[in-house]
Structure 1
Amino acid sequence: MMSSYGLRGKVAVVTGGTRGIGLAVARALAGAGALVCVTARDADAVRRTAEELGGIGLAGDVAGPGHPRELAELVLGSFGRIDVLVNNAATNQPYGPLMEADPAVWRAAFAVNVEAPLRLVQSVWRAWMAEHGGVVVNICTEGAGHVGPNVGAYGTSKAALLHLTRQLAGELAPKVRVNSVSPGLVRTELARFVWEPGEEQLAAGLPLARIGEPEDVARAVLWLASDAAGWITGADLVVDGGTRVRAAYSPAGPAAPGPGGPPSAGYAVHERLWSRTPHA
């Protein structure tokens, strides 16, 4: 099935591509015939993943000052082209009330979640896409559409990334299509402490009756990266098992706290999802 997406001979870059959603995306793109470059901070994981996929990798911090240019030069020098960029790497810190947020950590969140994707797009645009075209897919979150305790920095930065997606879609058209995918709760190691203790309850609260798998998100990214989505740009594809409608159709769904009342159990579970640091 993957080969039907027409990516054979194309070259894709996936940030945070050695685990979780990023790894699933890298595998899906490679399975569809693309040559893949992964980047992440763990050099050993980058090497193993590159070997598995028959591609290449670059270890480093996506927010590092020289990383975007180094990455573009490596990919162009190795494969001669850059057709797809998937901005997946992210951080959720600072975690806590915004009134207590450390300014340096707040700026670091935006450096990783907003500035790094922009700088990576600039690099691949200058290196290849301005002349030859291409596709950018940004990984956001369904949580960017609502507020929650302690996740203000993460949600705000991802909301900025959603707007950046639309802005770039307008500026880079018609050469480059720019879209985003916003996942809900997905079965990753990062989120294991959320889904493992109460998976049945969580699944029962979703219209599609299961939590997500990394491959669910990867298939959405693959579709957007392919010619099958050739007339789509500036869009956000929500892949959440119906999270945004569960409050209306399931008593287990999350609801914001009522006036003077505590958060519901579902809302508290949603908060716990972001209580660790996912900087790939």
Structure 2
Amino acid sequence: MGKSLSGKVAVVTGGSRGLGREMVLAFAEAGADVVIASRKFDACDALATEVREQYGQKALPVACNVGVWEQCDELVAAAYAEFGRVDVLVNNAGMSLLYPSLDQVTEAMFDKIIATNLRGAFRLSALIGARMAAAGGGSIVNISSMEASHPEPMAVPYAAAKAGLEALSGGLAQTYGPTVRVNTIRCGPFDTDIAKAWPPEMKDALAQHTALRRIGAPTDIVGAALFFASDASAFATGAILALDGGWR
């Protein structure tokens, strides 16, 4: 899409690895300056250096646990202090926790999953969305999961959080329209860091559940992310795009 984000500033949470890393690199290649946020500053800093050297764009690394309300506020303050604006926000940070059975999910586990996948996205979107609207526009992209529509027994709290994130997208689209667009990418199985713990037979089994007979590569997120971040999706808001290889 060429320099479709030239002059823009993009904030990506969970931005130092996996899908977040690929979106950061794609946005920088498309001409955007980037704010790279994750819990590990060193990883953010290393990617920021790569962005500057490879694409010549400005890159701000910020350590942020989006599950902590105050750290969301600090991330927003840092982004605006450095760039004075945010044009694209990608709420990509997410996590799930393993549990032996639902009745053994603790309150702390449940709260952590909700905080990371939903509460942080709400806080960042509320703060940045309001500023985007005041400045004349912007794009918020929420990264969801097929668990939101196809919840499985071992990911029920995570599925609930992602379903909440999709509802949040619709509400934000109505709240901050007509100038701010808010859309969702609903991801299927991707070969990111979490997949390293999967046995080979699990990857094969997941692949067989898709029409494309494979799981996603991290770079498969790029086209959808650029579409929603840029003016290519000028008439799309409140939309949910399934990026799951044709899950069935």
Same fold (TM over 0.5): yes
Read off the aligned partner of 2:2 and give its amino acid letter.
S
Read off the aligned partner of 1:80 and give its amino acid letter.
G
Read off the aligned partner of 1:111 and give its amino acid letter.
A
What is the aligned partner in structure 1 of residue 246 from structure 2?
242
Q: Is the 8 A contact 1:60 1:67 kept in 2?
A: yes
- Among 15, 18, 42, the alignment partner of 1:17 is 15
What is the aligned partner in structure 2 of residue 223 from structure 1?
227
Read off the aligned partner of 1:158 and give its amino acid letter.
K
Corresponding residue SS for 2:65? coil
Query: Distance in 2 between the 1:133 and 1:162 partners?
Result: 21
What is the aligned partner in structure 1 of residue 96 from structure 2?
92
What is the aligned partner in structure 1 of residue 55 from structure 2?
none
- % identity of equivalent residues: 38
What is the aligned partner in structure 2 of residue 254 from structure 1?
none
Post-superposition offset of 1:125? 2.7
Q: Where do residues 66-81 of structure 1 align in structure 2 (5 Å cutoff)?
A: 66-81=70-85
Query: Distance in 1 between the 2:62 and 2:37 partners?
Result: 5
Q: 1:11–1:199: structure 2 CA closer, same or farther, 3 Å change rule? A: same
Report the aligned-residue RMSD. 1.7
What is the aligned partner in structure 2 of residue 143 from structure 1?
147
Post-superposition offset of 1:195? 6.5
Corresponding residue SS for 1:164? helix
Q: For each residue in 1:181-232, what CA deviation from the matched residue of structure 2 results, as whole angstroms up to 9, or x when unmatched?
A: 0111111121123364554554344211221111111221111111010000
Query: Distance in 1 between the 2:205 and 2:131 partners?
Result: 48
- Among 109, 123, 128, the alignment partner of 1:119 is 123
Query: Distance in 2 between the 1:235 and 1:182 partners?
Result: 10
Q: For each residue in 1:244-274, what CA deviation from the matched residue of structure 2 results, as whole angstroms up to 9, or x when unmatched?
A: x3xxxxxxxxxxxxxxxxxxxxxxxxxxxxx
The answer to which of 199-208 and 156-165 deviates more is: 199-208
Corresponding residue SS for 1:95? coil
Q: Is the 8 A contact 1:133 1:175 kept in 2?
A: yes
Runs (4+) of structure 1 exceeding 2 A deviation are 93-100, 125-132, 192-206
Post-superposition offset of 1:130? 2.9
Q: Is the 8 A contact 1:82 1:128 kept in 2?
A: yes
Read off the aligned partner of 2:23 and give its amino acid letter.
V
What is the aligned partner in structure 2 of residue 176 from structure 1?
180
Post-superposition offset of 1:53? 1.4
Q: 1:50–1:184: structure 2 CA closer, same or farther, 3 Å change rule? A: same
Query: Distance in 2 between the 1:241 and 1:20 partners?
Result: 18
Corresponding residue SS for 2:216? coil
Query: Distance in 2 between the 1:148 and 1:202 partners?
Result: 13
Q: Is the 8 A contact 1:94 1:153 kept in 2?
A: no
Corresponding residue SS for 1:66? helix
Post-superposition offset of 1:150? 1.9
Q: Where do residues 3-82 of structure 1 align in structure 2 (5 Å cutoff)?
A: 3=2, 6-54=4-52, 55-82=59-86
Q: Is the 8 A contact 1:199 1:211 kept in 2?
A: yes
**Count of residues in correspondence between the two structures:** 242
The answer to which of 161-170 and 94-103 deviates more is: 94-103
Q: Is the 8 A contact 1:63 1:115 kept in 2?
A: yes
TM-score (norm 2): 0.91
Post-superposition offset of 1:128? 4.0
From the CA coordinates, give the structure whose radius of gyration is larger: 1
Q: Is the 8 A contact 1:3 1:32 kept in 2?
A: yes
Contiguous gaps of at least 5 residues in structure 2: 53-58
